[in-house]
Amino acid sequence: MSMPVLHEHLQSGSKIKELPGHLDAITAMDFDAPWGMMVTAALDDTVRVWDLSAGRCIGMLEGHLSSVRCLQVEENIVATGSMDASIRLWDLSKAEYAPHDNRINKQEEESDDGLAFENSEDAPPAPPSTSMRDCPMFSLESHVDEVTALHFRGDTLVSGSADKTLRQWDLVKGRCVQTLDVLWAAAQATASNNTNTTWRQTGRSSDTSADFVGAIQVFDAALACGTADGMVRLWDLRSGQVHRSLVGHTGPVTALQFDDVHLVTGSADRSIRIWDLRTGAIADAYAYDHPVTSMMFDTRRIVSAAGVDVVKVYDKMDGRHWDCGPGADKEDTSTHSIIEHVRIKDGYLVEGRRNGTVGVWSC
């Protein structure tokens, strides 16, 4: 269901469902399509797979020795990066559990509007413990410290680690084909007197809690990487060199995403910046009251998690800022958990909270 269709049925800001997902803070999440498959990871050391139309966990991805810090879902393929320094690939098409075939009290003319199973007695049975046993594909192990960011497209995956390297992987052969040393690249840039690409001090105290590599995205030979010094470096994977650095953030870069024209970044400096990739200049920027921990955009909106109990939404079409999420209802006086992670596709928003809950909204 596309965004126009979604908004015919639900107003922007409407809650679709809430899932009591994990026993601890959400560390990573992604989904393939509205009402599709979602994967969530948390500090409770579990990775859960969800059918969003049913609103049910359909199994666990087991194999990592520690918490998963980053993940991506693309069609049936899932990549997970962990504090155990490994990356694992999974094929969800091999899962044994299909909740749509297990409805209880299913009626002939029941409309599947994505709001099924609001009542527990209508729920399908719990997934068998073996539902995901055939999903593991292979493990990628070359990093020597926790994996904090990853992104794959086609047969190429790039990962970033606390070992201060980026690694490019061939997913067909299942091996590392290139290692990019971020500090070395910065030193080379300094040596060649290209001051735009130096590893710079931001004038702030060292943030030991920040991930050295906070966010990455790959597209063909183009790689964007955001790091703890506040820099966004654009790499050419063919040469293994940085060809442009974007200077502006004064805190660690925690999120980034680019399209044909713009690159959007979120940072612990409490700001979102929109860069023009043609010139390298900042096209727009706006600030929040707390560090930005997660950010994503679709064709219409930029959504961010920024240390509060709402998702901060920026409408690119009309320039309007608004709040979506559990804390947006001013009449609701209850306390809600801080939102840590956000994902949006076609106006369908999912957010993961510090208490392990996942919320799904029309945005």
Which residue reads 């067909």 in tokens? 172
Find the helix or strand (DSSP H, E) in which 335 lies: none
pLDDT, tens digit, for every residue of 324-349? 999 888 778 888 999 999 999 999 99
Write down the domain spans for the chain: 3-362
- Token representation of residue 62: 């087991």
**What six digits make up the tokens of 320?**
């309007």
Beta pairing partners, 138: 89
* Residues 117 and 55: beta-carbon distance below 8 Å: yes
Round to whole Å and give the CA distance between 13 and 326.
10
| pLDDT 10s digits, 64-80 | 999 999 999 999 999 99
Structure tokens of 103?
Answer: 């409805």
What whole-number distance in Å separates Cα of residue 157 and Cα of residue 168?
A: 6
Helix (DSSP H) and strand (DSSP E) numbers for the chain: 2, 28
Mean pLDDT, the chain cut into blocks of 10 residues (363 residues total): 64 94 96 97 97 95 97 97 98 80 37 43 66 96 97 98 97 97 75 48 47 96 96 96 94 98 98 96 97 97 98 95 91 89 97 98 96
Other beta carbons within 10 Å of 250: 15
Q: Is the pTM of this model over 0.85?
A: yes
Question: For residue 97, what pLDDT is reported?
Answer: 74
CA Rg, the chain, in Å?
20
Contacts of 334 (CB under 8 A, 6+ apart): none
Element (DSSP H or E) covering residue 272: strand 271-276
Q: Do the Cβ atoms of 338 and 292 come closer than 8 Å?
A: no
CA angle 82, 86, 91 (to 5 degrees): 85
Instruction: Say how far apart CA 303 and CA 315 lie, in whole Å.
Output: 9
| Token pair of 24 as six digits | 């601890």
Q: What are phi and psi of 186, to 5 degrees?
A: -65, -40
Quote the DSSP letter at residue 124. Answer: P
First to last CA, the chain: 13
Instruction: Check if the beta carbon of residue 103 is closer than 8 Å to that of residue 53.
Output: no
Phi and psi based region of residue 150 (left: phi greater than 0; alpha: psi -120 to 50; beta: remaining) = beta
Domain 3-362 fold is: Methylamine Dehydrogenase; Chain H (2.130.10)
